[in-house]
Amino acid sequence: MTVETDPVSELARAQSDYLSVSRGAHLYASAEEHRRAEERAWERLAAAQARVGEVVTR
């Protein structure tokens, strides 16, 4: 089952999540775990930005 979400809402959530991960290094067991989590959050943010860009250019 696929759930469609509003691209702008997803972007806002991805931004919030990225900032939480970025600022929460102390919550991870190691610097490497934090780096990987931040990388995943950044990739999600970039994908959400691209989706919003697609919607705007239509």
Contact 43, 3 (CB under 8 A): no
Q: What is the pLDDT along the chain (58 residues), one digit of tens a residue?
A: 556 689 999 999 999 999 999 999 999 999 999 999 999 999 999 999 999 998 877 6
Per-residue pLDDT, 5: 80
Per-residue pLDDT, 3: 60
- Would 1 be classed as within a structural domain? no
- Would 34 be classed as within a structural domain? yes
Per-residue pLDDT, 57: 78
3-class state of residue 8 by DSSP: helix
How many domains are there within the chain?
1
For residue 25, what are the domain limits?
7-57
Per-residue pLDDT, 28: 97
- Would 14 be classed as within a structural domain? yes
Per-residue pLDDT, 46: 98
**Burial class for 14, CB neighbours closer than 10 Å (0-12, 13-18, 19+):** buried
Kindly report the pTM of this predicted structure.
0.84
